[in-house]
Chain A
C-alpha cells in the first residue's frame, strides 16, 4: 500500500532548511548541468563555491564519471564540464546558481553529444545577419506509471478537440506544473515567451525566444532542465518523446521560428521565400539534424496527419500547418517577419537545429 506523505508537514520541513543562513555568508551553491550521452537526457551535480561569479568563465571546469552517463568507459572515465551560461536557481533561490555546461573528453575532444561548440562557431560566422529564433517546446506529462497524467487507467479520454488552450478539470491535466515552470523560468532569467495547453490532453507547450544566436540553445536546454525538476516536485514525469501515444493522438514537436535582419525589415518577405527554397534543397540533411536519432524518432511523428508534414516530402506555404515550413498569415500581410520550420521533433537538440538552419539559409552550406 502506498502511503502518502502529509504535504503540509513535508513542505514546511524543507522550507525550514532552505531558509537557513550559511555560517559563512560568502558561500553559494552552484549546480552544474550537462547533456548526457543520449543527447536527450540532462544530468546535474552541485558544488559549494565561496564567491559570486560574474560570468561563466569565473567558475572552474569540473568533471564527472562519464562511464555512468554513456559518455566514457570505466577505464578512462573522467569527462570535463565547462561552464557556458549562468542562471538564478529558482529552487534554492538567494544567490545560488544553475550553471549550464559543455562536455569535453580527456583529450579535450568535444564530447560526442556536445553540439554547442560547432553551433557557436556557426553563429559567430553569421553574426552580422542577426539570426533570431523562437522555439515552441511541446511535451507530455506522465504519471509515475508512465501513462499520460490524468488519463483514465486502462482506457482513453474523449477524442481530441476540446483540449487545445482549454480550461476546466476535464479539459486540462497538470496546470500547476506549467504555472510553476513559467515562474521558475522567469526567475531564472530564461527568455520564456508564453505557454498553452496542447491538442492532446496532458500535452503542453511553452515557447522560448526571441533569442539571438547561441542564446536559443542555452535557454531552451535550461528551460528543459527546469521542467523536469519542477515536475519532480509534483511527482510528474515529463517526456519529450515526439509520439508518446500511437494512433489518433497528436505528436510533440519543437517548431522553430526563424528570421534574419533582412527578413524582419520592409520587403523581407522575398528573403523569407528565398530561405524556404534553400531549405527545400537540404530537406534530408535537416531531418537528420532534427532529432537525436538522425530522423528515426521523427518517422513516428511526421506522418502527414495531425498537423504535420510527411517526413518524405518538403513543402512550404502561408498559414499551412500541414506543410514542413509555414509562413504565418500576419507575416504575409506585413510583407516581412519570420518563418516557422515545423519539422523539429520535441526531443531535438536546439544547437543542432539552429546550426543547420543558419548553415542552409545564411551560409549556403
Chain B
C-alpha cells in the first residue's frame, strides 16, 4: 500500500535550501532603519532579469529616495571588461514578498557611463513616447503565457521518455492528470498582489505544464514596469519550488501550443460610447500597414523567435499575413465579442511572443496608432 506521495517531477534544490533553517534566519528581528533593497534590471539578452541587494538606512517611500548604483556589465552581456561599469537607476518600487517587512524591490533602467540607455534598455524611449500620447490615456493588459520545466529541462509533469495525451483537457483544467505545478501559480499570484503588481488573473493553458497570468489594466509606462517585475517574481518563486520557467514562445515543437504575450489595448476614444468602434477599427487599419515593423519588435530577436510560434495553427495567425476578426483566435488581432456588442472597448493583439519586451510592444502600439511618426 503506497504512502500518499506528492508525486511531481520536481527536484529539490541543494541541501542549503532547507526551509526550516532559512526561516529561522528570516525571522530574525530587523531594525526599523535597516532595509534590504533588491535592485533588478534587464540584462544584455533583453529577456532575462538580474538582481543584487544593498542595505539602506531609511525606508524609501518612492524610487526617487534611492541612489543610482552600478554593476559589472561584462558579466551580463552589457559591456566589455575594460570598461565594464553599467549604471542602474531605480524607476519603480515594490514590496518584497520574499524578505517581507519593510524590505523592497527596485526595478531599474540600465545606463552607460554617459547616462544613455544601454542596448536592451527600451524603457527610456517608451517613457518619452507615453509622455507624448498621454492625452489619449493608453491602457494595456498583457496575457503572459509561460511553461514550467523540470531541472532537466523537460516540461513539468510530462512522462520521462514520452508525451502526455494530446491537448484538449488541460486548458483551465483541474485534476492531478490535467494540471502540473499549480502551487507555483498560487504562490506567484499572492507574491504579486503583496508586492503591488497589478495582476488581474490566472489560468491553466492549452499545453500541459503551460500557464498564463494577466497584468493590467495599466496606463502608459506602468505596463512594462509591472510585467517585468511579475516576471522576476515568477522565476524567483519557481526557484523555491525547484521549477524552471521558460518564456520561450515554442518550447515543444509539433502539435503543442506555443506561448504568447497577447497585448490588450485601448485609448480614451476606443473606450468611449459612440466613437469607440470607429477608433478601434482605425487603429487596426494603421497596424495593418506596419505589420513587419511590429513583428520585428514582438520578440527580442527581430521576429526570429516568433517564426517558430506564428504558424497559423494552434490559435495563432501566420507570421506573414495580417488579419483581424471578432472573437477570431486565428487572426493577428481579435476584437472581443463583448466589445463588438457594446460598440466600444479594446482589442487584443495576439502577435507578441511570450519573451517579448513589453516596453517595446507598448511603445510600438502607441507609436503606430497614435502618432504620425514613420521613423524606425
Contacts and interface: CB of A to CB of B under 8 A. Distances in A.
**Bound pair (A, B):** yes
Interface of A: 1-10, 12-14, 16-18, 20-24, 27, 29, 41-48, 63-65, 67-70, 74-78, 80, 91-92, 106, 143-144, 146, 150, 169-170, 173-174, 176-177, 225, 228-229, 231-238
A46 B189 contact: yes
B9 A3 contact: yes
Interface of B: 1-2, 4-12, 17-20, 23, 95, 97, 100, 160, 168-169, 171-177, 179, 182-183, 186-191, 193-196, 199-204, 206, 237, 240-242, 315, 325-330, 336-338
A10 B10 contact: yes
Given A1-B160, A24-B193, A235-B5, 13 more contacts: A2-B7, A3-B12, A13-B187, A20-B191, A21-B194, A42-B174, A43-B171, A46-B202, A48-B200, A144-B176, A173-B1, A235-B4, A235-B7
Given A10-B10, A43-B171, A46-B201, A20 B190 contact: yes
A294 B151 CA distance: 46
B69 to A, nearest CB: 25
A20 B160 contact: no
A170 B187 CA distance: 36
A185 to B, nearest CB: 15
Contacts of A13: 19, 183, 187, 240-241
A169 B4 CA distance: 12
Given A74-B328, A232-B179, A45 B203 contact: yes
A3 B11 contact: yes
A105 B121 CA distance: 44
Contacts of A231: 175-176
Most buried by B among A23, A63, A92: A23
A232 B182 contact: yes
Q: Is the interface of A mostly helix, strand, loop or mixed?
A: mixed
A42 B174 CA distance: 7
Contacts of B168: 70
16 contacts: A2-B7, A9-B12, A13-B183, A17-B190, A18-B186, A20-B97, A23-B195, A41-B169, A47-B200, A68-B171, A68-B315, A75-B325, A75-B329, A78-B336, A232-B176, A238-B175
Nearest to A143: B2
A75 B174 contact: no
A170 B193 CA distance: 45
A304 B242 CA distance: 52
B172 A69 contact: yes
Residue of A9, A233, A236 with most chain B CB atoms under a 10 A cut-off:
A9
Contacts of B160: 1-2
A10 B183 contact: yes
Contacts of A177: 4
Contacts of B19: 8-9, 12-13
B187 A14 contact: yes
